[in-house]
Amino acid sequence: MVHWSAEEKQLIASVWGKVSVEECGAEALARLLIVYPWTQRFFDNFGNLSSPTAIIGNPKVRSHGKKVLTSFGDAIKNLDNLKVTYSKLSELHCDKLHVDPENFRLLGDILIIVLAAHFSKDFTPACQATWQKLVGVVAHALAHKYH
Distance CA 80, CA 127 (A): 19
Distance CA 100, CA 32 (A): 14
The residue from 112, 138, 139, 142 that contacts other proteins (CB under 8 A) is 112
The residue from 21, 89, 92, 116 that contacts other proteins (CB under 8 A) is 116
**What letter would DSSP give residue 76?**
H
Burial classification of residue 106, based on how many CB atoms lie within 10 Å of its CB (0-12 exposed, 13-18 middle, 19 or more buried): middle
Q: Interacting stretch for other proteins, rule CB under 8 A, among 1-9, 76-84, 92-100, 112-120?
A: 112-120
Q: Does 97 bind other proteins (CB under 8 A)?
A: no
- Of residues 54 through 73, those in contact with other proteins by CB under 8 A are 55-56
Nearer to other proteins, 24 or 94 (CB): 24
Q: Which of 99, 23, 100, 118 is nearest to 62 (CA)?
A: 23
Residues that bind other proteins (CB under 8 A): 30-31, 34-35, 52, 55-56, 109, 112-114, 116-121, 123, 125-126, 128-129, 132-133
